């Protein structure tokens, strides 16, 4: 069997046209997803039911033929395994029971293996169901980003509650991040052993931190995950996506040891090319260009291919696809990339 193109890129090869997948490619912009979600009931019912989770992961592969499928789940399944009262409220996003510093020592990871077993079953089913040429991506939320939700109990614009928690309770924050890193690494190891070709660590809130906090809350825990995963699965391929890190991306790449760095749309091409000299990069089309379509979409695609197409590149958005993205524009995106070869 020929090696999957996305894996080749993660190993440092240049493949042109580059392999492409989109963050949140299984989601509300697809009518088949909305139908499955309605049948499943709640969002967590969708995540933890292998029948439903497998189906929605495969839907964009059937429709568009992306080069990779990403496991359908959520970054907050780890705090859910810690019994932090995770629930999803329509139109409001996730809610959790906010954690206090004195509660961290009492967190029990012992139920995580059984709690997350349905997700691992979904990974195994997906590898069996996907075309041979299609890579399968597993994932977790990065410790810092997961911690922000656990501390505030919900999403916030600038994650001030978690940042203040880190300043006021540094030992408690370090303990929480260490626990989340260990649990996340074990979770990724199980996904890789079940059939994932690679995994991605989503650090959606890396960009709100100062340099010292970035080092302590993002770089250190991510390195801990990478080391633990590679000790258990030698040669494991790992993508890191520290959204908003920008000038700190070179430090992130060198210090964490990830194989590829995900870039948001604000990363300048000069910086992206510097990062690409060290290995694969992934990104970084503005999701709003996908919504706009037409010239805005075409120019955005062409600039990325021109700037980064001569090195190891995985084409993606700079963040997740949004529910209002027209299906016709996704088709146009793929056609534009594939015609470039």
For the chain, the domains span 5-339
> Would you state the torsion angle of the CA atoms of residues 249, 254, 257, 259, taken in this order, to the nearest 10 degrees?
60
Catalytic residue (choose from 4, 37, 253, 289): 37
CATH of domain 5-339: 3.20.20.210
- Per-residue pLDDT, 341: 81
- 105: its two tokens: 């020592």
Q: Which residues of the chain have pLDDT under 70?
A: 1-2
Catalytic residue (choose from 4, 48, 74, 264): 74
With beta carbons less than 8 A apart as the criterion, state whether 224 and 185 touch: yes
Catalytic residue (choose from 24, 84, 237, 289): 24
Catalytic site includes residue 74: yes
- Residue closest to 300 by CA, chosen among 329, 326, 259, 271: 329
- Residue closest to 139 by CA, chosen among 195, 186, 188: 188
With beta carbons less than 8 A apart as the criterion, state whether 170 and 177 touch: no
Catalytic site includes residue 37: yes
Residues pairing with 200 in the sheet: 139, 239
Catalytic residue (choose from 8, 28, 34, 251): 28
- Residue closest to 71 by CA, chosen among 138, 169, 145: 138
- Per-residue pLDDT, 1: 54
- 56: its two tokens: 């929605």
Catalytic site includes residue 29: no
C-beta contacts of 335-339 below 8 A and 24+ residues apart: 336/297, 336/298, 336/301, 336/302, 337/17, 337/18, 337/20, 337/301, 337/305, 338/17, 339/17
Q: What are the tens digits of pLDDT across the range 233-261? A: 999 999 999 999 999 999 999 999 999 99
- Per-residue pLDDT, 3: 87
| Phi, psi at 173, each rounded to 5° | -65, -45
Longest dimension (CA), the chain: 57
CA distance readout (Å), 23 to 40, 138, 139, 313: 22, 12, 11, 15
Q: What are the tens digits of pLDDT across the range 126-146? A: 999 999 999 999 999 999 999
Measured between alpha carbons, how far is 283 from 263 in angstroms, rounded to an integer?
5
Catalytic residue (choose from 29, 33, 48, 149): 149
- Per-residue pLDDT, 2: 66
Task: State the pTM of this model.
Answer: 0.97
Measured between alpha carbons, how far is 76 from 94 in angstroms, rounded to an integer?
9
Query: In terms of DSSP bridges, do strands 68-70 and 135-141 run parallel, antiparallel, or are they unpaired?
Result: parallel
- Per-residue pLDDT, 91: 74
| Phi, psi at 281, each rounded to 5° | -125, 160
Measured between alpha carbons, how far is 143 from 307 in angstroms, rounded to an integer?
32
- Residue closest to 265 by CA, chosen among 224, 227, 307: 307
Catalytic site includes residue 62: no
């Amino acid at each position: 069997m020929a090696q999957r193109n996305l894996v080749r890129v993660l190993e440092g090869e240049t493949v042109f046209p580059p392999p492409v997948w989109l963050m949140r490619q299984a989601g509300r912009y697809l009518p088949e997803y909305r139908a499955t979600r309605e049948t499943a009931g709640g969002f967590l019912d969708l995540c933890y039911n292998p029948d439903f989770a497998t189906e929605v992961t495969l839907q964009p592969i059937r429709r568009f033929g992306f080069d990779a499928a990403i496991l359908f789940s959520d970054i907050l399944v780890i705090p859910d395994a810690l019994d932090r009262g995770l629930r999803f409220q329509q139109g409001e996003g996730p809610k959790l029971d906010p954690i206090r510093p004195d509660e961290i020592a009492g967190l029990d990871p012992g139920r995580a293996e059984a709690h997350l077993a349905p997700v691992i079953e979904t990974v195994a089913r997906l590898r069996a169901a996907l075309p041979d040429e299609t890579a399968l991506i597993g994932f977790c939320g990065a410790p810092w980003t997961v911690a922000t939700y656990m501390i505030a109990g919900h999403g916030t614009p600038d994650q001030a509650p978690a940042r203040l928690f880190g300043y006021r309770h540094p030992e408690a924050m370090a303990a929480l991040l260490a626990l989340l890193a260990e649990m996340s690494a074990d979770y990724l190891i199980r996904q890789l052993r079940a059939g994932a070709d690679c995994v991605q660590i989503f650090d959606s809130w890396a960009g709100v931190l100062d340099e010292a906090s970035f080092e302590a809350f993002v770089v250190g825990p991510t390195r801990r995950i990478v080391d633990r995963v590679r000790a258990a699965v030698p040669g494991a391929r790992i993508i890191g996506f520290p959204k908003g890190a920008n000038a700190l991306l070179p430090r992130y790449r060198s210090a964490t040891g990830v194989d590829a760095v995900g870039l948001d749309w604000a990363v300048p091409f000069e910086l992206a090319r510097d990062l690409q000299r060290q290995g694969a990069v992934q990104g970084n089309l503005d999701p709003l260009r996908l919504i706009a379509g037409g010239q805005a979409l075409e120019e955005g695609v062409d600039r990325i291919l021109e700037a980064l197409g001569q090195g190891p590149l995985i084409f993606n958005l700079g963040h997740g696809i949004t529910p209002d993205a027209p299906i016709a524009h996704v088709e146009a995106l793929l056609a534009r990339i594939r015609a470039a070869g």
